[in-house]
Amino acid sequence: QMRELLLRELKLNFRDPQKIMAKAANAVVMALLVGAMYFHVDQEYVPPFAYIALAITSMSAMVSLPSFFADRLMLNLERTDRLYTTLPYYIVNSGVGLLVSIMANAVFGTIVWGMVGIGWQYYFKFFLITFIIFFATDGLIVLISACCRTLEQAMATFNMTIGIFLLFNGFSANTKTTPPWLSWICYMSPLYYSMEMFLDALYENSPLWVSTGQLFGMRKHVFWTDFFICLSIGCAGRFLAFFAMKHLNKIER
């Protein structure tokens, strides 16, 4: 089942490459725009650049939201006819979609990093950060989509959940400037952890930490801790989404 589904998914992507081309074109355009905005960025503007770049990467997970509902309709029809079960479909569909998105984000990250001129010695960690923020956000979006019956419900739920996480990002809202009774939301936000990873990677052993990470109330030497927190968020979202797809929003006859 999985082999046949994989071959079909690959054939569909080759026959109708619009989804892949749209993601690639969007990555190039946004990279050139952000790169031009922060071309050879000064150190004082690195945090705003980090916020914009990571927020765009995070939000790119929204691109596949409409196609999710079209694909789920096909899943329900074919699953009802006992052509395959949920698990092989979910693995193939999620795996191919994630691979395409990672390649698009790599294009975005490479172009924008070359333009801002921060230094290629930090590029690998930047790539890891963009990967993990996308992985975490995409996992949450897949979970929301799997639990909602319509695209409109998914968009409304997104605004009430991930939309709030995007606000508590470590830059516009963080543990230093936001009141303690509200700042705890930062610790639920993948974008906050990605911002902390970015500033930690660049400035953990630099005097500039005072005017960057410390200014926003972030911690030092937590790169891999934050990485695995985001990894756990993404994995948990996908794990729960599988059961939601298996048991919720089936076709009623």
CA angle (172 as vertex; 184, 141 as ends), nearest 5: 70
Query: Do 131 and 99 touch, CB atoms closer than 8 A?
Result: no
pLDDT of residue 75: 80
pLDDT of residue 251: 59
Query: Do 112 and 35 touch, CB atoms closer than 8 A?
Result: yes
Handedness of CA 65, 70, 71, 76 (dihedral sign): positive
Calpha distance 208→220 (Å, rounded): 12
pLDDT of residue 192: 95
Report CA-CA distances (Å) from 225 to 38, 215, 228, 236: 29, 20, 5, 16
Helix (H) or strand (E) segment spanning residue 232? helix 223-247
pLDDT of residue 81: 77
Which pTM was predicted?
0.90
Tens digit of pLDDT per residue, the chain (253 long)?
677 778 777 777 677 667 777 788 889 999 999 999 999 999 889 999 999 999 999 988 887 777 788 788 778 787 777 878 888 888 888 888 888 888 899 999 999 999 999 989 999 999 999 999 999 999 999 999 889 888 888 888 888 888 888 889 888 888 888 898 888 999 999 999 999 999 999 998 888 888 888 888 899 899 999 999 999 999 999 999 999 988 887 655 5
